[in-house]
């Protein structure tokens, strides 16, 4: 292990990795967590494992042990393409399930099985079947933030990064879009396709209000406001741009605003800020308690014990896989 001098005269381990998170992790904390980081790096090599991390993971996971980082769409694409033997999802359960659906013969690990999602919890397969019976022939576009069982009875999946494209690719005048009511309404505002929605909400994004945006603009009149499309439509309308977490990163990279407010989960701003020290990040953030269940110590434990392993009922695999693959085929 390489060491560099720390501010208190001691040496710091893994200096090349510490540089990436120095803004967020004090040297004393680094000395504690670097043991887990080194162990994870060694275990990944030994297990031929790939670690996929969502943009909402904490900087000490995102910038040190992750092989691939991105939004749900990017993580699904990477899961479909990997030749690793083991996939560890530093994200929430539906993301790991999607990876398993695409790789039924690989080992897929999630460090904490309780890392759920309020959207995935909001709808069951029987609800989808009832919607289909109520609107015969209307295709069901299902956000990836759902269980494999729900995907299995859907026609095609979408993410916040491709929802409009998927809805329009179907070439029909009307679709059912589940389960996020706000995402459905935000997409409906951008397309002529009629959208029938469900009443699911993201517990993190539903809490933002137009008043939050007004307050930020009052304090920072020059701020550029970017909101995730799981936010209420009046929040999106009050923002300058809306897009998936990867589209938010792309916007910051392209436009380089002097000051930006990311209206989304807290770690997003921290992770992007590492690459743009010249940009002032205003963070009106809410924490996703599910994403925050993933830690360096449970990632290490998952790779040591090869569990908890994500499984999907084989009966659900063909239907769920078709929905995800149809989405991935839409470019």
| Nearest approach, Cβ of residue 327 and ligand 13P (Å) | 12
Closer to ligand 13P at the Cβ: 224 or 245?
A: 245
Q: Map residues 247-286 to x or -, x wherever contact with ligand 13P holds by CB under 6 A.
A: ----------------------------------------
Query: Looking only at residues 199 through 218 of this chain, which bind ligand SF4 when binding is defined by CB under 6 A?
Result: 202-204
User: Which of 283, 290, 300, 326 touches ligand SF4 (CB under 6 A)?
Assistant: 290
Q: Which of 64, 122, 154, 159 binds ligand 13P (CB under 6 A)?
A: 159
Q: Is residue 231 within the footprint of ligand SF4 (CB under 6 A)?
A: no
Residues 69-98 that bind ligand 13P (CB under 6 A): 71-73
The reply to whether 33 sits near ligand 13P by the rule CB under 6 A is no
Subset of residues 270 to 289 that bind ligand SF4, contact rule: CB under 6 A:
288
Residue among 122 and 244 whose Cβ is closer to ligand 13P: 244
Which residues inside 117-146 make contact with ligand 13P, applying CB under 6 A?
145
**3-class SS string, the chain:** CCEEECCCCCEEECHHHHHHHCCCCCHHHHHHHHHHHHHHHHHHHHHCEEEEEECCCCHHHHCCCCCEEECHHHHHHHHHHCCCCEEEEECCHHHHHHHHHHCCCCEEECCCCCCCCHHHHCCCHHHHHHHHHHCCCCCEEEECCCCHHHHHCCCEEECCCCHHHHHHHCCCCEEEEECEHHHHHHHHCCCCCEEEECCECCCCHHHCCHHHHHHHHHHCCCCEEEECCCCCHHHHHCCCEECCHHHHHHHHHHHCCCEEEEECEHHHHHHHHCCCCCCEEECCCECCCCHHHCCHHHHHHHHHHCCCECCCCHHHHHHHHHHHHHHHHCC
146 binds, among ligand SF4, ligand 13P, none (CB under 5 to 8 A by kind): none
**Closest CB to ligand SF4 among residues 117, 176:** 117
Catalog residues that contact ligand 13P under the rule CB under 6 A. Answer: 55, 71-73, 145, 159-161, 202, 230, 244-245
């Amino acid at each position: 292990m390489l060491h560099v001098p720390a501010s208190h005269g001691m040496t710091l381990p893994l200096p090349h990795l510490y540089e990436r998170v120095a803004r967020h992790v004090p040297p004393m904390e680094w000395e504690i967590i670097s043991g887990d980081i080194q162990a994870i790096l060694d275990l990944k090599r030994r297990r031929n494992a790939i670690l996929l991390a969502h943009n909402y993971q904490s900087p000490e996971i995102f910038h040190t042990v992750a092989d691939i980082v991105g939004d749900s769409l990017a993580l699904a694409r990477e899961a479909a393409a990997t030749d690793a033997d083991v996939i560890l999802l530093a994200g929430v359960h539906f993301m790991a399930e999607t990876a398993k659906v695409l790789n039924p013969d690989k080992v897929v690990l999630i460090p904490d099985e309780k890392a759920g999602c309020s959207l995935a919890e909001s709808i069951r397969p029987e609800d989808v079947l009832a919607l289909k019976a109520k609107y015969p022939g209307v295709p069901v576009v299902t956000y990836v933030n759902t269980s494999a069982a729900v995907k299995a009875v859907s026609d095609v999946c979408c993410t916040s990064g491709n929802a409009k494209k998927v809805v329009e690719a179907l070439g029909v005048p009307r679709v059912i879009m589940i389960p996020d009511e706000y995402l459905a309404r935000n997409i409906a505002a951008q397309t002529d396709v009629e959208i029938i929605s469900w009443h699911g909400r993201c517990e993190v994004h539903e809490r933002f209000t137009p008043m939050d945006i007004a307050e930020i603009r009052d304090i920072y009149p020059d701020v550029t406001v970017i909101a995730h499309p799981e936010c209420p439509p009046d929040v999106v309308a009050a923002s300058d741009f809306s897009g998936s977490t990867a589209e938010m990163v792309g916007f910051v990279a392209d436009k380089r605003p002097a000051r930006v407010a990311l209206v989304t989960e807290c770690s997003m701003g921290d992770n992007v800020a590492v690459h743009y020290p010249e940009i002032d990040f205003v963070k009106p953030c809410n924490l996703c308690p599910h994403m925050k269940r993933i830690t360096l110590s449970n990632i290490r434990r998952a790779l040591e014990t090869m569990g908890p392993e994500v499984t999907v009922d084989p009966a659900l695999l063909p239907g769920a896989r078709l929905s995800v693959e149809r989405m991935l085929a839409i470019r």
